[in-house]
Structure 1
């Protein structure tokens, strides 16, 4: 047994994060760690990786009891964690990132460093130059740098936290080839993902946590997706993709010849009242830039923009978009949607101050009332309205973003990757919010890289390829095959 966790317990103020949790990992095994946001996954890997200390329980590594006091100690003993938000130095080279913190002596031979790093990259068939600057790499290449760093340290355990959250399907396949090669070398991999289809493709075993408790483990082949979902959420989810909106003929939003730099070229579309309108495309297609341009985050031009029968000439800033009935739930909730250091209450009212302000005075009692109502309305799991949003799970952070955006009662809402990095139960809650939003007479623009979401939820789908609108699919035309054809530049 490479790693064994016995009855691990960890408490934070007001939260029992882990409650007598068990976990085991063999050499040459991919062990998936599953659970909803807030289930305890992150706490467990942070204890294994030396970031947190357990209050109770034991960890055995290669047969010996261990309790690392810091991440460096874990790394030096062969346990590396590749976090979802990669901890790389953007302005340094690949070689420097691989060996930073792992260089002995005071003098660094840069040429030798580049050569040694290239040997690791070539040996593992990583198609990256070791003298490249990290800031010039795409997300999947940066992940390979993080893996190469772990291999340079001769790691026996590599923890991968949501490694496919920000990469394409093609890049995911390449990553899985690398994972299989790491298995052959006897490396044990703890794999965390919210995408169950990936678990069945790459993992040998699975452990499920719920509300900080150990629910069960076993061979992946002995479970179905429904089994794992039931274990994670503690209930049966009847419909993974609920859909009950009813589009009308009235056009709420229309735009003609939208241009955003070289990324979006003369794109036109319209959204009906009560419609869930999808925008799909591969990474770099321009799909994510469309809402940023319309919302005022990026310089954009158009020939004609009409929202709720009102013609809009320009939108230079997000506040102008909001005043015109356009709202955005951004792709990156942590940097664009929330102020992580502020509590839930302040995040909800920060762009809705008119609700609590009178003659220049902010009435915080009213803010508290609004925050409590929103927490209840969206089932946000938190200790109180004063809990920092940075300490919430991903799913609950997303609900706070949605709450503050919808508090403005917009006519058209753009949701960009709204279910990225959140658990199965929270995804269904977001889908229900989207349906209700449409049924309340709004127009919803749903932008996602998850094709099952697009196919199941959308009434019509615009497909982007290299900044161009390849066509709008309707009804039975909306299939994964048709979307992928158009997304790769092939007419259907």
Structure 2
């Protein structure tokens, strides 16, 4: 890709970027949020057509202005937001074989369903993915959905496969499975372009790395010639300081107490408590039940038995509305699906959780007040946005996450639940999020921090509950434990 530039209203997303890779190699594309890496790959996969610059394949200039153009040249992409690329009410096989089904229907031919299911089964088997082709996509885990998308890409003659944040939703074993597939593809001379923020895994799987910053190309290096610290310095344009803020916070009274909590599916007999100014970690592997616990505490899933007590008052949470009214806030894992209104402006999102603060008599909104508060929050949170009116879908992942958190700061809750808050967020934005969470604790808020990133749990929490298979299996004091011990209990160790 040569001298690629692209602009969106108020944002120059790519500025004369050159990117080179080849088949049979795994190439990492990395940069802070908003560096332009996803945008560059959207140009290559035909999602954006209003760019300037040229693309060459095998030294020959090619035209890529639509996803169809890209696919004809063997370029496939698996996006970070897997749900947007799959049809939930169709089966696994129907999703994998989608283009073939559409092709037959377009020609008014009958679809040979046996053939469709056989082919889907063969490709899943070749990837060693143990999912029934007859299962509905809506019943799959995030990791399985990703495997379905990769299977679909491989079915169509694939020369280059772009994986955007592929491991963000995956557990350790699922990540290893994905890496096995990536190594297989490399053997078959497919070029894999890997966008990720997790440096250790890039150094494990990639041959080369390209770093971008502020929409520009910074450096391309062979993996063996560089180090994680050097890469971070390229990304940030400066040396990396301490990531986790160090504050002394006086721990106060118990704010939230959970006793014998069961939901309809995953979580069983959960007992925990959080005090004023305390950051309590909920650690566990992907699928352990951390998200389900957060949703139950936020009234978003049905509680079968047990108690949630807030400052001595027993709560009945039938919906998130009840939770918000009682002063409980949730920043969910699936931010685009559940944490922000992607089609709305930054200002609308920031005021969404506390609209009555901005309502005038007669039910009218105080737009001026809303805009002022939004500007204040953009400044406090360091949200990179051209204006308060920019649609949230045009922001980078880290900035979307800051908006998801920001709306709760406007609402001023008592208990803050963070579910994988740094998923798909770069080093710089992570640091901002940790600062934010530490500042909440300083203000005497009770914070629950659910994450499968053990280094973060160790870096930011005071106490830790380890969750395995929907149950709390161990309570640990952060100062007196280490990542190995947490991992031992996370994997079912007794």
TM-score in terms of structure 2 length: 0.94
Q: Cα 1:148–1:322, aligned 2, differ >3 Å: closer, same or farther?
A: closer
What is the aligned partner in structure 2 of residue 99 from structure 1?
97
What is the aligned partner in structure 1 of residue 319 from structure 2?
317
Tell me the distance in 2 between the aligned counterparts of 1:358 and 1:207. 52
| Structure 2 unaligned blocks of 5 or more | none
What is the aligned partner in structure 2 of residue 386 from structure 1?
389
Structure 1 consecutive aligned stretches of length 4 or more whose deviation exceeds 4 Å: 301-304
What is the aligned partner in structure 2 of residue 66 from structure 1?
62
What is the aligned partner in structure 2 of residue 160 from structure 1?
163
Mapping 1:69-84, distance limit 5 Å:
69-84=65-80
Tell me the distance in 2 between the aligned counterparts of 1:279 and 1:15. 38
Q: Is 2:412 the counterpart of 1:409?
A: yes
Aligned 8 A contact 1:417 1:448 in 2: yes
Q: Compare the two structures and name the one with the higher helix fraction.
A: 2
1:380-433 Cα offsets, whole Å, 9 max, x none, are 111110111111111111111111112122221111111111111100100111
Aligned 8 A contact 2:55 2:62 in 1: yes
Aligned 8 A contact 1:277 1:458 in 2: yes
Tell me the distance in 2 between the aligned counterparts of 1:121 and 1:269. 41
What is the aligned partner in structure 1 of residue 240 from structure 2?
237
Aligned 8 A contact 2:276 2:446 in 1: yes
What is the aligned partner in structure 2 of residue 395 from structure 1?
398
Aligned 8 A contact 2:4 2:53 in 1: yes
What is the aligned partner in structure 2 of residue 90 from structure 1?
88
What is the aligned partner in structure 2 of residue 337 from structure 1?
339
Q: Is 2:253 the counterpart of 1:255?
A: no
Candidates 32, 35, 39, aligned match of 1:36 = 32
Q: Cα 1:135–1:200, aligned 2, differ >3 Å: closer, same or farther?
A: same
Tell me the distance in 1 between the aligned counterparts of 2:142 and 2:360. 46
Q: Is 2:291 the counterpart of 1:288?
A: yes
Candidates 354, 357, 362, aligned match of 1:355 = 357
Aligned 8 A contact 1:259 1:267 in 2: yes
Give 1:336 deviation, angstroms. Answer: 1.8
Q: Cα 1:293–1:137, aligned 2, differ >3 Å: closer, same or farther?
A: closer
What is the aligned partner in structure 1 of residue 473 from structure 2?
470
Give 1:302 deviation, angstroms. Answer: 5.5
Give 1:285 deviation, angstroms. Answer: 2.3
Q: Cα 1:76–1:99, aligned 2, differ >3 Å: closer, same or farther?
A: farther
Q: Cα 1:354–1:126, aligned 2, differ >3 Å: closer, same or farther?
A: closer
What is the aligned partner in structure 2 of residue 191 from structure 1?
194
Q: Cα 1:57–1:318, aligned 2, differ >3 Å: closer, same or farther?
A: same
Tell me the distance in 1 between the aligned counterparts of 2:241 and 2:391. 33
Q: Cα 1:157–1:250, aligned 2, differ >3 Å: closer, same or farther?
A: same
TM-score in terms of structure 1 length: 0.94
423-432 or 226-235, larger mean C-alpha shift: 226-235
Tell me the distance in 2 between the aligned counterparts of 1:326 and 1:91. 33
Q: Cα 1:133–1:270, aligned 2, differ >3 Å: closer, same or farther?
A: closer
* CA RMSD across the alignment: 1.8
1:79-129 Cα offsets, whole Å, 9 max, x none, are 111111221223333333222223455222111222233333333433344
Q: Cα 1:187–1:281, aligned 2, differ >3 Å: closer, same or farther?
A: same
State the SS of the aligned residue for 2:487.
helix
| Structure 1 unaligned blocks of 5 or more | none
Give 1:244 deviation, angstroms. Answer: 2.1
Give 1:454 deviation, angstroms. Answer: 0.6
Aligned 8 A contact 2:464 2:478 in 1: no
Candidates 360, 363, 367, aligned match of 1:364 = 367
What is the aligned partner in structure 1 of residue 249 from structure 2?
246
Tell me the distance in 2 between the aligned counterparts of 1:444 and 1:489. 25
Candidates 15, 33, 38, aligned match of 2:11 = 15
1:351-377 Cα offsets, whole Å, 9 max, x none, are 212222232332211111111111111
Aligned 8 A contact 1:53 1:67 in 2: no
What is the aligned partner in structure 1 of residue 430 from structure 2?
427
Candidates 268, 274, 277, aligned match of 1:274 = 277
404-413 or 131-140, larger mean C-alpha shift: 131-140
Give 1:303 deviation, angstroms. Answer: 4.7
Aligned 8 A contact 1:247 1:272 in 2: no
Tell me the distance in 1 between the aligned counterparts of 2:269 and 2:31. 43
Candidates 304, 309, 312, aligned match of 1:306 = 309
Q: Is 2:125 the counterpart of 1:111?
A: no
Aligned 8 A contact 1:292 1:298 in 2: yes
